[in-house]
Amino acid sequence: SLTLGIVGLPNVGKSTLFNALTSNDALAANYPFATIEPNVGVVPLPDSRLATLAELYGSEKLVPATVSFVDIAGIVKGASEGQGLGNKFLANIREADAICQVIRVFDDPDVVHVDGNVDPSSDIETINTELILADLQTLDKALPRLEKEARTNKDKRPALEAANEAKAILDGGTTLFTAKKADVPELRELNLLTTKPFLYVFNADEGVLSDDARKQELRDLVAPGDAVFLDAKVESELIELDEESARELLESVGQPEPGLHALARAGFHTLGLQSYLTAGPKEARAWTIPQGATAPQAAGVIHTDFERGFIKAEIVSFPDLVDAGSMSAARSAGKVRMEGKDYVMTDGDVVEFRFNV
Ligand code: GDP
């Protein structure tokens, strides 16, 4: 499955956040047999629609979609100079599908900042610089080959042009994601780091969390990346509390929900994922598919045979199903559609597949 790699300067709260992510009881309850690597956190995607479906269908169990975060420990500054730890750090980032950077916004005289003071934009710059330098090295290695190929084969010219354009962008200090060059097919084989989508987690204190203008400033700083604001220390306390006390703590810091919920949703979004829903007496479940997936591809997530034997999908949108009160009432109301193999799925589609086996 797709993963987000957590990176950031030392002492910004990565471990605190990662521990909160991985001590999530909701997950342990739903996946008792999941074997999870120590540096991988599989986080359930909060989805209130599942409880509603379970009520309509009398489902015994709720199965949420999940998002996977990988803790990428290691050095940051100088990583692109590429020895030992630096290489490992970059190789781990290369394996991730998106980059989740934790940025310190909290003030705490007891927690040393590696660069002396809290400065989100400089922290972002530091990480970007290492990733940009690593990509420039990749390009410098690839360009002579691409030039040679383009000389004898004109089909290879677009690849050379794309690589040269990427180099110019990176030389200017901009990531390819920020320059909106993330989806250039000609660049794909180079597996560049800065084409990956970015998610920024601002580890902030209460003052910032309740300051909408400051948050907007930080959001603007990282656009087009997604931004999440949370207090990792509060998150690590929340997971220790029962529901009632957790609600009180959230209220006391003026937050409507745990930051981990927002983080899971943002991670899911950053990875380009969406979910569709199925329900029955056994379980109400959210299934993970890429945005743009067709109905047979969605069926294939349940079982590969379902994709091959796909005939059609009976689909109702979640709000329409809830309005009608049941699948049969939704059918009578004309809200249930029969969709064929070209149908592109929408988040929140409630589905029954018809297939040959
Ligand atoms: P890492 O090096 O990025 O993994 O950072 P850690 O998670 O180890 O955190 C470094 C220090 O900062 C620890 O002493 C944490 O308790 C503290 N810390 C982490 N998050 C917060 C926060 O949101 N507020 C405050 N005040 N301290 C935090």
One-character DSSP codes across 45-91? ---HHHHHHHHHHT-SEEE--EEEEEE--S--TTGGG--HHHHHHHH
Per-domain residue ranges for the chain? Answer: 292-355
Range of lowest pLDDT (19-23, 37-41, 304-308): 37-41
Distance from the alpha carbon of residue 99 to the mean position of ligand 1, in angstroms: 20
pLDDT band of residue 197 (cuts 50, 70, 90) is very high
pLDDT band of residue 355 (cuts 50, 70, 90) is confident
pLDDT score recorded for residue 253: 86
pLDDT of residue 41 exceeding 90: no
pLDDT band of residue 83 (cuts 50, 70, 90) is low
Distance from the alpha carbon of residue 237 to the mean position of ligand 1, in angstroms: 13
Which atom in ligand 1 lies closest to the alpha carbon of residue 102? 3
**Which residue lies with its CA nearest to atom 17 of ligand 1?**
13
pLDDT score recorded for residue 36: 58
What region does 84 belong to: left with phi over 0, alpha with psi -120 to 50, or beta? left
The answer, yes or no, to whether any atom of ligand 1 lies below 6 A from the CB of 203, is yes
Distance from the alpha carbon of residue 74 to the mean position of ligand 1, in angstroms: 16
pLDDT score recorded for residue 32: 43
Distance from the alpha carbon of residue 11 to the mean position of ligand 1, in angstroms: 6
- ipTM (interface predicted TM): 0.96
Which atom in ligand 1 lies closest to the alpha carbon of residue 8? 3
pLDDT score recorded for residue 169: 97
The answer, yes or no, to whether any atom of ligand 1 lies below 6 A from the CB of 11, is yes
Cα torsion 163, 165, 169, 175 to 10°: value is -50
273-282 per-position pLDDT tens digit: 999 999 999 9
**Which residue lies with its CA nearest to atom 18 of ligand 1?**
13
pLDDT band of residue 110 (cuts 50, 70, 90) is confident
Q: Which fold has domain 292-355?
A: Ubiquitin-like (UB roll) (3.10.20)
The answer, yes or no, to whether any atom of ligand 1 lies below 6 A from the CB of 103, is no
* CA gap 40, 43 in Å, rounded: 10
Using DSSP's 3-state secondary structure scheme, residue 243 falls into helix
* CA gap 141, 113 in Å, rounded: 35
pLDDT of residue 34 exceeding 60: no
**Which residue lies with its CA nearest to atom 7 of ligand 1?**
13
Range of lowest pLDDT (9-18, 84-93, 129-138, 202-211): 84-93
- Residue percentage of the chain with pLDDT more than 70: 94
